[in-house]
Structure 1
């Protein structure tokens, strides 16, 4: 009877239809007497009903087109949440989405006894339609929202859903990190799954996450995060060929999956990708393991840096962090945040990054501080308990993480200098053509690269200008030998020296035959850390 009632609810209430598998999966894992084969036979019929052709806006993840006479109103509404609220409100709360999985994922089977999960979603002044499009069998944590429809109206709505659901209210604005801690503490599932409040889950998204945790309880797993356009709400499949990293300023970035990781998986793209870092918004973790490794750093404020702190901690303390390529969850990516940060965005993120650097980065924290001098001026609080956690877990050093988990990191593990490259004759510095912050900070590495973050000095022809290109770590056109006595930078491939710009282009340094003149002399200055 319970299964029949649930099927009825799916067809008549505003649930995300692709989550049908979730409730049935959890129900099966908790019921020892049910006939699993018979129960699973319900799914094709449910999917067939829900995937009928619709003409409603946004069906099958299509873009929503706003009529011209509504454009001005659309722009005004956009400011509220920094996405197209008008488009979102036009889309059905249970809109259908395409199956974007790899073909090999569609035929995978999973055990019947997968662990159950509690889903935690934190929201603050979230839009009604995006929030309801996300929720199903979840624990909602309200981070002190001020909008009326997120109070009694939301409580009345979720009370009509015949799925287990709770809303926890934070007494005051606490931010993502502390609100998630509150939600996690109230969970009862064997696994905690964290999602953002503007997500849409596709068919079969949960089983592969739970299956991987069943194999290894210390595996922390993320779905492929697909893009839901903030302007049209078009659903666009993400790539299984990217993974998480970070730049010199500890900003999370997506990078191509390296060949070494493809080789480890023997070319099977349906296997999980080991990722150095995670975006942090969407992941599943064994609840007991989450507690064992120290949950979140509660000394961090609001949002920012917690994803890298957890990523470093997982890897350095014996766990693994993986992107499960057979799981797809859509997320609305915004170009700007609609929320305020008490104390200012920079202050909050600098504090959080300082905490993670002090606890987890060892001597490499000084590299980060030179790149981001503002970080060392913030009050970052007491980290003694986090250092004690690291000691008790017998975690590995950050150098091990760079060597074994993230060898293609933008942070050079060994370098000769970090600072300015100044010409002796003109007293001018090499810069990075304005493409990055700290444009005059370069590192001359042990691999003989001249790099700033992920860009390297590159020259491809004799007497040609140098340009900034992505570092490829293959030497060749990006290999320079520095002579500390002559102060010259020899481009090995061409056997020419780095020289000041030509008359034709006074902005771009160039290569010329080595002559020993002062315009070919460069001082590599090491910046010092000023606390």
Structure 2
């Protein structure tokens, strides 16, 4: 009897804790539901995301499915997946994530038309760990409103694990996955039929001209009969989609709370703006979330900077680049327009908020975070979408209509590499734009290298180089030579006209802009390129159409090399075109603002300066000073600048024989050959030399002579 008396206080404490937990959980649920009541009545969403809660049955979901091919049993798990798949297997099918959004994102509703907010999510994968793929899917179900998640499309690109999709289709998912959006209490089961739903109580899909909030989600699966690559797999998934929007997602992601609504709102604003401008189907806008980092080793989730945007270099390699201050200032006007839109709707939101607060005060509880001050902070730059030159990490959402109108991803790009850059350039040039939405957060495992093998016996470098060449030939116009200068090996990779013909037809059909417009208005940061630590500096301000003192010249097929011409740490420079001839050429610092650019032509072998003159070798009469200085053959030859001579065929039809002979003689003195690192004067077979600090001469070619090694900033052929 005494023992039972001692247990009563403990039981009362436990019961009190349970009641308190249930009380606050109920209040959270009431708040969550009331914040979304108007969505059903007014036809638009005003979402205040619910705090994350992950019950135990969520964590334990799919244990048998994951154990089907446990990563811990593989001795080469890291080499196979290139992330810690064994740890992925043990952390659970779903986990709570830190809310990495700015506070201004959590204190405002998001407005868009529900009838046109059905999203088809396409996930293409090859040899993905079961736990990572399952976690990607469960986060989508747990943190996405069911009314917007129209369908999930899984494309297995011929993975080694052939039982993955069949095992997943038989997976039992607990009812809590419905995130309070479903009404049926039955557990959801994945079914293989592309026209069926997850639950056994399937209903026919609503007609396209009406809308009712669905309580189930369609899944469509497909397995490639051979390795096709992520590009072809994503295109296949897009063809299977029927939603209003397409969202492409990797198979090792975790979406965060409230991730979809900001993307839908930005697309809805773009569609309204396009409709006001007379554009059928709205403006072609692609939106990307901020990609938070999931550590490949520890799988720790960490917030990423909201001031990064996607870019690339002349190698056509993707890079994260900081958002420039000038870009932020240029978007202030657009942000003001968005602010007027939000403030107009803020009054309606406040009315709803006051009613909700009064309702919650009946329970003696009021949330301060829904204050009027914070609602008016929703136009803070931390919550405002900003433009990006390229799609962020290949994860983006776009109107299905516009994706197909732009011909999707280029089908001639093989396996993996460059598809996001190609689609980004195509979208910008053909009237669209790309924006990153800071209020949308998606975690992504960033692997340092690709774990999968490329088909047809090719390696990743060759495949990526071939894809990049197709992009350059399709969209870069004359700027493709900057790519060839960075990747001379790409010239040896064969492609045919069919690889670029489709892009050229699209450019003509949609009246797409030239690539120079992209450099000027979208990605001006690409104009400046540093090749290496050896002062190879190509000031592209002159080459890319900016106002400058030198003629604006774009490279072409006649160029062998161009840009600054350096030897060691110095560059060949024209000091003063008006000065006496012997003082025109000097070796000087490569970092001068007006440093001379040189262009080595293929047809006439002339080495032309940006001022228009050509590098020549002339014979001079030896003097006593020159005899004392050097007695070699090069003593009687000088490197000078002369007006460039056109070929004799380009002269007048009946030239004087004397003039033609003099022109031919002078033209021969302006011919240079590129042999390795040497610049060889064709007529004398002597090499350009820099024996002293600021002097250039010609002398006998010597192997391994550093003073005779010259580098152009951009080489268009292999040395």
**Which of 246, 269, 273 is the equivalent residue of 1:192?**
246
1:529 — aligned with what?
716
**Which of 370, 373, 382 is the equivalent residue of 1:269?**
382
Residue 292 of structure 1 and its aligned partner are, at CA, apart by 1.3
2:153 — aligned with what?
139
TM-score by length of 1: 0.71
1:202 — aligned with what?
256
1:405 — aligned with what?
522
Alpha-carbon distance in 1 for matches of 2:430, 2:517: 11
Alpha-carbon distance in 1 for matches of 2:514, 2:155: 35
Structure 1 or 2: larger helix share? 2
Alpha-carbon distance in 1 for matches of 2:541, 2:406: 35
2:508 — aligned with what?
391
TM-score by length of 2: 0.53
1:159 and 2:190 aligned: yes
In 2, are the aligned partners of 1:277 and 1:307 still within 8 Å (CA)? yes
Alignment deviations for residues 249-289 of structure 1 (CA, whole Å, 9 cap, x no partner): 11110111001121134371211110111244210000001
1:520 — aligned with what?
694
Alpha-carbon distance in 1 for matches of 2:111, 2:693: 69
Alpha-carbon distance in 2 for matches of 1:43, 1:289: 29
Alpha-carbon distance in 2 for matches of 1:296, 1:154: 28
2:313 — aligned with what?
247
User: What is the 5 A alignment of 1:280-319?
Assistant: 280-319=393-432
In 2, are the aligned partners of 1:358 and 1:365 still within 8 Å (CA)? yes
Alpha-carbon distance in 2 for matches of 1:112, 1:72: 45
State the aligned residue count.
420
Alpha-carbon distance in 2 for matches of 1:43, 1:269: 18
1:85 and 2:202 aligned: no
Residue 493 of structure 1 and its aligned partner are, at CA, apart by 8.7
Alpha-carbon distance in 2 for matches of 1:231, 1:259: 34
In 2, are the aligned partners of 1:28 and 1:112 still within 8 Å (CA)? no
1:351 and 2:466 aligned: yes
2:97 — aligned with what?
97
1:8 — aligned with what?
none
Aligned Cα root-mean-square deviation (Å):
3.8
**Which of 391, 404, 407 is the equivalent residue of 1:278?**
391
In 2, are the aligned partners of 1:110 and 1:207 still within 8 Å (CA)? yes
Seen in structure 2, the aligned counterparts of structure 1 residues 38 and 365 have a Cα distance that, compared at 3 Å, is closer
Residue 362 of structure 1 and its aligned partner are, at CA, apart by 0.5
Seen in structure 2, the aligned counterparts of structure 1 residues 164 and 445 have a Cα distance that, compared at 3 Å, is closer
Alpha-carbon distance in 1 for matches of 2:287, 2:297: 29
In 1, are the aligned partners of 2:519 and 2:527 still within 8 Å (CA)? no
Alpha-carbon distance in 2 for matches of 1:259, 1:38: 34
Seen in structure 2, the aligned counterparts of structure 1 residues 373 and 325 have a Cα distance that, compared at 3 Å, is same
Alpha-carbon distance in 1 for matches of 2:237, 2:161: 20
Seen in structure 2, the aligned counterparts of structure 1 residues 241 and 75 have a Cα distance that, compared at 3 Å, is farther
2:484 — aligned with what?
369
Seen in structure 2, the aligned counterparts of structure 1 residues 482 and 253 have a Cα distance that, compared at 3 Å, is farther
In 1, are the aligned partners of 2:536 and 2:713 still within 8 Å (CA)? no
**Structure 2 portions without partners, runs of 5+:** 1-31, 61-70, 142-150, 172-188, 192-197, 200-216, 271-282, 333-379, 543-547, 549-563, 577-583, 595-689, 697-709
In 2, are the aligned partners of 1:246 and 1:410 still within 8 Å (CA)? no
Alpha-carbon distance in 2 for matches of 1:38, 1:246: 38
Alpha-carbon distance in 2 for matches of 1:133, 1:208: 22
Alignment deviations for residues 459-498 of structure 1 (CA, whole Å, 9 cap, x no partner): xxxxxx989xxxxxxxxxxx99753822232588999xxx
Deviates more, 1:125-134 or 1:338-347: 338-347
Residue 156 of structure 1 and its aligned partner are, at CA, apart by 1.6
SS of the residue corresponding to residue 331 of structure 1 reads strand
1:321 and 2:321 aligned: no
Residue 408 of structure 1 and its aligned partner are, at CA, apart by 1.5
2:297 — aligned with what?
231
Seen in structure 2, the aligned counterparts of structure 1 residues 236 and 528 have a Cα distance that, compared at 3 Å, is closer
SS of the residue corresponding to residue 80 of structure 1 reads helix
